């Protein structure tokens, strides 16, 4: 009885309440049937389309026949909201979806079954613009081509675990979303390429490629996305670096050139063979609150300049890269552009803060800053890190390094200026590599003429031991090596704490070590004060010192400080400069009396005769 009632109710609704195909109204199964109404049926003005494609769900809407002048509409068909009619010129009229509001890919013909290629539907939507919603579904939209976003538009999903785009670029690589307009927003869905291997790939792949034409206000905004398993590469990731291969053909999740106003926030990046975010130029860029997991290159690579870049509150975890062997870069890399790359202004006004980083780092550095003018790095937490094996065994690891970028010993960007490395917590690696480990390093390299790094402050950093593993150097400063120019001027090292095990293959033999390779690259104008330094044990190692002033280091002022358990307290090398003040304010504990606390290897008078052993 109940089943009969339901059937009768459905029949009554269909019979008495559905609109009949009479007068100026028709119902059609799909948009192709809609287009058939035109010259053959000039009196039909309204149509109810069941779906975009016959026999499939989605894309069904009410359309009205309108002349081009109606409501200031034109009749240029886009096959989403405007359709032509068979045999009717656009100057006569067209079918229009009057008030589409938010669109879905199904409105443009997407099948959304995870198997059918929905590229054409996405391309039609991108040409229309506006707001596009990718609804939640167990299936992903399958895309094998490029979606050009050349006008402002907003694409959003129901969350990265609910809405998905599966990208199939092919062996030669490709671009999924090509952004060429300001005011584009992409958020709330997942882009993945799981099960797509393409190794060895022969061309780079990009999930989102943003060009300089996207600069403007508002800038491009990419948020709450998941970039997952974009691992196409020219070398198998689980087999290391193949002979003669450089892992240069990779997949970058977001690649932006001169994209002023770009914001990347709240996204997750996992298993990316290239960079997660690669920037070339641009200004007022913010990369915040993202998570990075097992990214092959530098997770964030500001490769060629840029002005006004903030990198903050991100979480980096590249521990899964350690067993793979080949790691292109560490986790954060900001560098100026070389002449070979087209030249340009150096990177400037860079603020990096409150990030958490762990995992393996190739090139020997977790964070690297090259030729940056105006850099502040603070409150970073770096732990559980190991050197990556790029080509050959690990050579060492540096927590944060500031140096010069150029080629052929030429200064192409100007050395770093106005640098502050402040209040960072960095734990030592358990495997320091063949050349040891450095918590913070400043290195003026590739200089053909005197052109010093100026105005550097390294303060309040915590360079901690990790169990029995400690740093080779807490702070290492190098004016230059094997060149005639360079140098460092106006350097402050203060209020840092650190624990060392200097016997672990130090590059420079001191918890704080300053040195240079020539008089034209002197390190001078240095203040060292308030540092608390300790060694894990006073080993019988004659090079083991708390503070080393190497050759061509001059104009150094000490302001107290504590050294514990070092073979020597302060060691001043033979070719060090003559202007050293305040060394007597240093406090030494646990230093062997037979070795002396202050050693003047340059045969100059000691700062305090009572605690000095001439050599």
pLDDT band at 463 (very low <50, low <70, confident <90, very high): very high
Question: Which tokens in the block code for residue 268?
Answer: 């997750």
104 neighbors 158 (Cβ within 8 angstroms): no
232 inside domain: no
Query: Are the C-beta atoms of 384 and 430 separated by less than 8 Å?
Result: no
> Hey, what are 466's tokens?
């990790």
Q: Which of 62-71, 226-235, 371-380, 604-613 is predicted with the least confidence, judged by mean pLDDT?
A: 604-613
Judge whether 33 lies within some domain: yes
Highest mean pLDDT among 54-63, 98-107, 391-400: 98-107
18 versus 373: the higher-pLDDT residue is: 373
Q: Average the pLDDT over each of 4-18, 54-68, 372-386 and give the range with the smallest value.
A: 4-18
Distance CA 171, CA 242 (A): 18
Distance CA 213, CA 218 (A): 12
Q: What is the pLDDT of residues 187-230, one digit of tens each?
A: 999 999 987 766 666 778 899 999 876 666 678 999 999 999 98
* Domain region containing 39: 2-96
Among 164, 168, 143, which Cα is nearest to 155's? 164
The pLDDT of residue 489 = 94
The reported pLDDT for the residue numbered 506 is 58
**CB–CB of 559/585 below 8 Å?**
yes
Token output for 272: 């990316």
Q: Tell me, yes or no, whether 424 lies in a domain.
A: no
Q: Which one, of 248, 266, 283, lies nearest residue 390 by Cα?
A: 248
- CB burial class (10 A; 0-12, 13-18, 19+) of residue 340? exposed
| Averaged pLDDT for residues 473-494 | 87
Q: State residue 603's pLDDT score.
A: 42
- Tell me the pLDDT tens digit for each residue of 562-595: 998 887 888 888 778 767 888 878 888 766 543 5
Distance CA(337)–CA(342), nearest Å, equals 7
Beta strands in 70-219 (DSSP E): 82-83, 94-96, 130-134, 141-143, 147-149, 153-157, 164-167, 174-179, 184-187, 190-192, 205-210
CA distance 390 to 392: 6
Asked if residue 499 is part of any domain, the answer here is no
CA neighbor of 546 nearest in space, from 576, 574, 522, 572: 572
Q: Which of 109-123, 262-276, 427-441, 524-538 has the lowest mean pLDDT?
A: 427-441
Give pLDDT, residue 299: 94
Whether residue 563 contacts residue 527, with contact meaning beta carbons closer than 8 Å, is answered with no
How far apart CA 184 and CA 47 sit, in angstroms, is 33
Domain assignment present for residue 83? The answer is: yes
Query: Which residues are within 8 A (CB) of 3 and not within 5 positions of it... i.e. 6 or more apart?
Result: none
Which pLDDT band holds residue 110 (cuts at 50, 70, 90)?
very high
Q: What is the pLDDT of residue 146?
A: 95
67 DSSP assignment: -
86 Cβ contact list (under 8 Å, min separation 6)? 35, 36, 38, 39, 40
Confidence of residue 460 (pLDDT cuts 50, 70, 90): very high
What's residue 5's pLDDT?
41
**Nearest alpha carbon to residue 23 among 56, 50, 47, 59:** 47
Q: Which of 55-64, 146-155, 267-276 is least confident? A: 55-64
Do 35 and 84 contact (CB within 8 A), yes or no?
A: yes
User: Which range among 32-41, 284-293, 424-433 has the greatest average pLDDT?
Assistant: 284-293
**What is the distance between the alpha carbons of residues 186 and 208, in angstroms, rounded to a whole number?**
10
pLDDT of residue 194: 85
pLDDT over threshold 50, residue 613: no
Residue 327 is predicted with a pLDDT of 63
Give residue 474's pLDDT band: very low, low, confident or very high (50, 70, 90): very high
Of the two residues 7 and 549, the one the predictor is more confident about is: 549
What is the distance between the alpha carbons of residues 16 and 9, in angstroms, rounded to a whole number?
A: 10
Tell me the two tokens of residue 287: 């990369």
Q: At residue 325, does pLDDT exceed 90?
A: no
Please give the Cα distance from 14 to 17 (Å, whole number): 6
The predicted model gives 437-450 an average pLDDT of: 81
Tens of pLDDT, residues 536-554: 865 555 567 889 998 889 9
Q: How far apart are CA 124 and CA 106, in angstroms?
A: 11
Give the pLDDT mean for 45-70: 85
Nearest alpha carbon to residue 104 among 84, 77, 131, 85: 131
Give the model's pLDDT for residue 215: 62
Q: Please indicate whether residue 211 or residue 148 has the higher confidence score (pLDDT).
A: 148
Q: Where are the alpha helices (DSSP H) in 220-302?
A: none
Q: What is the mean pLDDT of the chain?
A: 82
**Contact criterion met (CB below 8 Å) for 559 and 527:** yes
Closest Cα to residue 596, out of 573, 571, 560, 559?
571
Residues 343-388 pLDDT 10s: 667 889 999 999 999 998 877 789 999 989 999 999 999 999 988 7
131-145, 239-253, 308-322, 597-611: least confidently modelled range: 597-611
DSSP 468-491: TB-BSEEEEEES-SSSS-EEEEEE
Confidence at 234, pLDDT banded by 50, 70, 90? low
Per-residue pLDDT reduced to its tens digit, 157-190: 999 999 999 999 876 778 999 999 999 999 999 9
Neighbours of 39 (CB within 10 A): 12
- In terms of Cβ atoms closer than 10 Å to its own Cβ (0-12, 13-18, 19+), residue 213 is middle
The pLDDT value given to residue 89? 81
Neighbours of 72 (CB within 10 A): 6
Write down the residue that tokens 């996305």 correspond to.
225
The answer to whether residue 124 scores a pLDDT higher than 50 is yes
Q: Which residue has the tokens 């490029």?
A: 146
* Domain total in the chain: 1
Q: What is the pLDDT of residue 240?
A: 46
Residue 51 domain-assigned? yes
Flag whether 142 is in a domain. Answer: no
- Residue 16 in any domain: the answer is yes
pLDDT given for residue 273 in this prediction: 86
């Amino acid at each position: 009885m109940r089943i009969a009632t339901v059937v009768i109710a459905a029949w009554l609704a269909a019979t008495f309440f559905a609109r009949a195909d009479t007068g100026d109204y028709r119902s059609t199964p799909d948009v192709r049937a809609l287009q058939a109404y035109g010259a053959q049926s000039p009196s039909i003005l309204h149509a109810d389309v069941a779906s975009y494609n016959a026999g499939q769900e989605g894309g069904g809407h009410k359309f009205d026949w309108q002349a081009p002048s109606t409501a200031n509409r034109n009749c240029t068909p886009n096959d989403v909201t405007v359709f032509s009619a068979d045999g009717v010129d656009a100057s006569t009229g067209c079918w229009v979806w009057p008030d589409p509001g938010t669109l879905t890919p199904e409105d443009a013909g997407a099948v959304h079954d995870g198997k059918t290629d929905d590229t054409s539907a996405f391309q039609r939507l991108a040409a229309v613009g506006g707001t596009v919603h990718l609804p939640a579904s167990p299936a992903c939209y399958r895309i094998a081509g490029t979606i050009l976003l050349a006008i402002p538009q907003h694409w959003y999903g129901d969350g990265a675990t609910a809405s998905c785009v599966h990208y199939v670029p092919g062996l030669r690589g490709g671009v999924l979303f090509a952004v060429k307009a300001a005011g584009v927003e992409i958020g709330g869905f997942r882009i993945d390429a799981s099960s797509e291997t393409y190794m060895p790939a022969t061309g780079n792949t990009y999930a989102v490629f943003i060009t300089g034409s996207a600069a403007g206000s508002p800038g491009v905004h990419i948020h709450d996305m998941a970039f997952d398993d974009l691992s196409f590469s020219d070398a198998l990731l689980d087999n290391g670096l193949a002979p003669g291969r450089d892992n240069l053909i990779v997949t970058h999740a977001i690649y932006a050139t001169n994209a002023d106003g770009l914001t990347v926030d709240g996204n997750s990046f996992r298993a990316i063979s290239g960079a997660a975010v690669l920037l070339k130029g641009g200004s007022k860029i913010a990369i915040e609150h993202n998570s990075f997991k097992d990214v092959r290159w530098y997770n964030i690579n500001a490769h060629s300049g840029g002005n006004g870049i903030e990198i903050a509150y991100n979480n980096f975890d590249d521990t899964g890269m350690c067993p793979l062997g080949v790691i292109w870069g560490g986790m954060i890399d900001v560098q100026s552009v070389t002449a070979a790359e087209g030249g340009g202004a150096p990177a400037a006004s860079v603020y990096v803060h409150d990030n958490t980083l762990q995992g393996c780092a190739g090139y020997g550095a977790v964070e690297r800053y090259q030729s940056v003018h105006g850099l502040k790095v603070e409150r970073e937490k770096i732990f559980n890190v190991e050197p990556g094996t790029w080509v050959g065994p690990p050579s060492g690891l540096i927590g944060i390094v500031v140096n010069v970028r150029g080629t052929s010993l030429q200064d192409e960007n100007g050395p770093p200026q106005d640098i502050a490395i402040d209040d960072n917590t960095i734990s030592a690696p358990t495997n320091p590599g063949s050349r040891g480990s450095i918590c913070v390093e400043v290195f003026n390299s590739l200089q053909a003429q005197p052109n010093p790094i100026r105005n550097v402050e390294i303060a309040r950093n915590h360079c901690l031991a990790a169990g029995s593993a400690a740093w080779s150097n807490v702070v290492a400063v190098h004016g230059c090596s094997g060149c005639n120019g360079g140098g460092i001027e106006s350097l402050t090292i203060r209020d840092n704490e650190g624990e060392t095990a200097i016997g672990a293959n130090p590059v420079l033999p001191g918890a704080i070590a300053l040195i240079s390779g020539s008089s034209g690259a002197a390190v001078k104008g240095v203040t060292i004060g308030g540092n608390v330094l300790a060694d894990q044990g006073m080993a019988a190692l004659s090079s083991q010192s708390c503070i080393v002033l190497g050759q061509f280091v001059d104009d150094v002022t000490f302001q107290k400080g504590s050294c514990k358990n070092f073979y020597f307290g302060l060691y001043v090398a033979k070719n060090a400069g003559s202007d050293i003040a305040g060394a007597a304010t240093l406090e030494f504990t646990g230093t062997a009396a037979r070795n002396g606390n202050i050693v003047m290897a340059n045969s100059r008078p000691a700062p305090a005769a009572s605690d000095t052993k001439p050599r």
